[in-house]
Amino acid sequence: MKFIRRLLLALFIVLLMLAAVFHERVADLYAQATPIDYQLGVTDVPLPSSQQAAGAEWKSLFDGATLDGWLVKFSGSPLGENINDTFRVQDGVLRVDYSDWESFAGRFGHIFTEQAYSHYLLQFEYRFVGEQVANAGSGMAWANRNNGAMLHSQHPASMRLEQDFPVSIEAQLLGGLGDGERPTANLCTPATNVVLQDKLYRAHCTESVSKTYHGDQWVRAEFEVLGNERIRHFINGELVFEYEQPQYDPFSKDSAHLGKSAELIDRGHIAFQAESHPTEFRHIRILELPAS
């Protein structure tokens, strides 16, 4: 009997220890997934493009006349089907156009570079124009004047047919709604995580420290992407967000579909979104950097 009592006591102690570990792990996961009020840890960071040597070999990603070099994928459609000619060239700009749509119906789209990149500077200008697609639905208010530049994205051919967003690091582009603050170049993480302020960070979307840009004004964006080391967002010449170690989310079915767990992401494609609001892009160019 003494042996049994001791055994039961030992089992009880082990269960308490396991419960404590489980509680701590759950608390850690909750903290990692809770959005923070982000503040820059550094200031007066020079625009990376301003530090490049004269004659740096920038490459244009958009020729202003065609969609050559780009791939289109909409959720629910096979690769290459450009629904309603949504991604089009008009007046020398890459335009996300919804003039031929009757309703949105959750058909998220992306246009991807054919080539993947690792270490680079990406520049472009963007603006929101017109109104959100008709019959977008009450649940789509968040997508009003909303687009995104997807960095380190998976190849569109590897997406599931019904997949809404590629596994990537999203620099969320938002336009002001005429009143109040609405930062741009925010961080969103579809099926990914990052290290933010020296801690693993799993919250899906976090606001940057940028100003709000109302109306149809052009906004200049620049991104410094250093493989799996660091990514910085700049808007109109000012640093507004930075983070490190982009990585796959081990809890995501989209990452699992790629056979990925928590590996760091050191390269990928660049993509722009079609999320229900007309958007224009121009002066899209890239400067590849040497790996450190």
Q: Is residue 80 part of a domain?
A: yes
Residue at 20 is within a domain: no
In terms of pLDDT, which residue wins out, 69 or 5?
69
How many angstroms from the chain centroid is the CA of residue 264? 15
Classify 238 as helix, strand or coil: strand
Tokens at residue 250, please? 């081990």
Contact 180, 93 (CB under 8 A): no
CATH number at residue 189: 2.60.120.560
In a domain, 26, yes or no: no
For 233, the 3-state DSSP assignment is: strand
Model pTM greater than 0.75? Answer: yes
Which two structure tokens, joined as six digits, stand for 57?
């070999």
Residue 4: what pLDDT?
Answer: 73
Number of H helices, E strands in the chain: 2, 17
Q: What is the mean pLDDT of the chain?
A: 92
User: CA geometry: angle at 239 spanning 237 and 240, to 5°?
Assistant: 120
Alpha-carbon span 169 to 275, nearest angstrom: 16
How far is it, in rounded angstroms, from Cα 141 to Cα 177?
11
Q: What is the pLDDT of residues 121-179, one digit of tens each?
A: 999 999 999 999 988 887 899 999 999 999 999 999 999 999 999 999 999 999 999 99
- Is 5 inside a domain boundary? no
**Mean per-residue pLDDT for 110-115?**
98
Residues spanned by the domain of 94: 33-288
Task: Kindly report the backbone phi and psi dihedral angles of residue 84, in degrees, each rounded to the nearest multiple of 5, phi listed first.
Answer: 55, 30
> At residue 276, does pLDDT exceed 60?
yes
Inform me whether the pLDDT recorded for 219 exceeds 80: yes
**Is residue 272 domain-resident?**
yes
Q: Stretch 70-89: mean pLDDT, rounded?
A: 98
pLDDT at 275: 97
Q: Which of 236, 29, 279 is nearest to 132 (CA)?
A: 279
Of 40, 47, 277, give the one whose Cα is nearest residue 175: 277
Quick count: other Cβ atoms within 10 Å of Cβ 110?
27
Q: Give the 3-state secondary structure of residue 68.
A: coil
Structure confidence by residue, pLDDT tens digits, 22-69: 444 433 443 456 778 899 988 889 999 999 988 899 999 999 999 999
Does residue 212 form part of some domain? Answer: yes
pLDDT in tens, 196-211: 999 999 999 999 999 9
Radius of gyration of the chain (CA): 22
* 263 found inside a domain: yes
Does residue 46 sit within a domain?
yes
* Greater pLDDT, 30 or 195: 195
Q: What are phi and psi of 188, to 5 degrees?
A: -125, 150
Number of domains in the chain: 1
